[in-house]
Amino acid sequence: MAEKGIILVVDNESDQLDMMKEILGRIGFDAKTTDNPQQALEMVEKQAFSLVIIDLIMPEIDGTELCEQIKRVRPAVSVYAFSGHAHLYSPERLERAGFDGTINKPATMEEIKAALSRAMYA
């Protein structure tokens, strides 16, 4: 059982969810995953997460919109954008949406560890 906290990962790509769950588990986190933004919002309403990681580009909803919705429910939770297309969004737009940081795809285990350190221990 992970001891460092529970992280929610939201991404419409199942291979990305599997990869993140494995990496987060290896470094001691319990990772919950979903490919459904509405389900993610319901999960955040029911459970406190240490961190939420959201893909920016999903078919159902833009990641910035989901971040805004999550921040309305849990204003104190850290939310990171996870995308290979973060460059399409200005830092100001991401900040306005409520994102606390960005993890670029593809990410190595070391990059994910560094982002988690910034997000959870700053």
Sketch out the chain's domains with CATH numbers: 6-121 (3.40.50.2300)
Predicted pLDDT of residue 122? 58
pLDDT at residue 53 greater than cutoff 90 = yes
Cβ neighbours, 10 Å, residue 109: 13
Entry pTM = 0.92
Predicted pLDDT of residue 1? 36
Longest dimension (CA), the chain: 38
Q: Cα–Cα distance between 18 and 86 in angstroms, integer?
A: 21
Q: Which two tokens stand for residue 92?
A: 């100001």
pLDDT at residue 121 greater than cutoff 90 = no
CA neighbours closer than 13 Å in the CB half-sphere of residue 49: 31
Predicted pLDDT of residue 106? 87
Comparing 119 with 91, the larger pLDDT belongs to 91
DSSP 52-117: EEEESB-SSSBHHHHHHHHHHH-TTSEEEEEES-GGGS-HHHHHHHT--EEEESS--HHHHHHHHH
Q: 3-class DSSP state for residue 17?
A: helix
